[in-house]
Amino acid sequence: MRALVHRDDERASALRARDVEVIVGDLLDSHAVQAALQGVTGAYFVYPVMQAQLIDATAYFAHAAKLAAFALLGPEAAKTVARLLVMNQRRLGGQEQHSALLDMTPKSDRIESVLAHIRRNMRNALTVEELATVANLSPRQFSRSFLAETGLPPAKAVEQLRLEAARFMIEQGRHTINVVANETGFADRERMRRAFLRTFGVPADVLRRNARTEPVDGR
């Protein structure tokens, strides 16, 4: 049995005492998740449910399961389970959870590293040239490879990931709309407003109001 833990603490020691192989890593680090699932035939996914990064962690877990090609479930079943983990939570604001990362499951580490770069550098312009450099490809080669592996052109993928990050920040309510726009790379409030209208049908401030007033299921 193997466990991926965030810290090498007393809980990790307790697992070792039970003959569990412990790997220290982060569910938000795709390479750590892939290493933890290497050579196993099945896995349980456990993550703090109320954390906003649940969606990203679920997507990385699903992708790692796909690469590991679980013999018991198979990669498509693993992805379906991960999608159910996401969809089973009702989004504040009355919409279901959805993950752009979960929809983009690249086959190569090269494109996976580009997606990780996007998430870590939202404030950047994230041009095709910048992303192609991360992938060590020419812009033309990169655009073709990215579309083939994710089903989206790079610019569209960047916008979806920006929107996902902005939505989480908006629903948490800890930052102003202007700060969210800057932190997620939209640069200004108006550009983000137009993107929210295209994708969610409402501007960011309405989504925030809905998040504050929507009752939590079962309470």
Asked whether the domain spanning 100-219 has the same topology as the one spanning 1-89, the reply is no
pLDDT range class, residue 75, cuts 50, 70, 90:
very low
Q: What is the per-residue pLDDT for 53?
A: 61
Question: In DSSP terms, which residues pair with 3 in a beta bridge?
Answer: 22
Interacting residues of 210 by C-beta distance below 8 A, sequence separation 6+: 92, 93, 94, 202
Residue 140 has pLDDT above 90, yes or no: yes
Pairwise pLDDT comparison (71 vs 203), residue with the higher score:
203
Residue boundaries of the structural domains of the chain:
1-89, 100-219
Question: In DSSP terms, which residues pair with 21 in a beta bridge?
Answer: 2
Pairwise pLDDT comparison (144 vs 107), residue with the higher score:
144
Pairwise pLDDT comparison (74 vs 113), residue with the higher score:
113
CATH code linked to domain 1-89: 3.40.50.720
Residue 37 has pLDDT above 90, yes or no: no
Mean pLDDT rounded to a whole number for the chain: 77
Q: What is the per-residue pLDDT for 87?
A: 44
The CATH architecture to which 100-219 belongs is: Orthogonal Bundle (1.10)
Q: What is the per-residue pLDDT for 33?
A: 79
Pairwise pLDDT comparison (90 vs 26), residue with the higher score:
26
Pairwise pLDDT comparison (143 vs 89), residue with the higher score:
143
Residue 68 has pLDDT above 90, yes or no: no
To which H or E segment does residue 129 belong? helix 128-135
Q: What is the pTM for the complete model shown?
A: 0.60
Pairwise pLDDT comparison (36 vs 102), residue with the higher score:
36
Pairwise pLDDT comparison (29 vs 53), residue with the higher score:
29
> Are 22 and 11 a contacting pair, CB within 8 Å?
no
Residue with tokens 């906003």: 52
User: With helix as H, strand as E and coil as C, how does 36-99 read?
Assistant: HHCCCCCCCCCCCCCCCCHHHHHHHHHHHHHHHCCCCCCHHHHHHHHHHHHHCCECCCCCECCC
Encode 14-39: b = buried (16+ Cβ within 10 Å), e = exposed: ebeeeeeebbebbbbebebbbebbee
pLDDT range class, residue 187, cuts 50, 70, 90:
confident
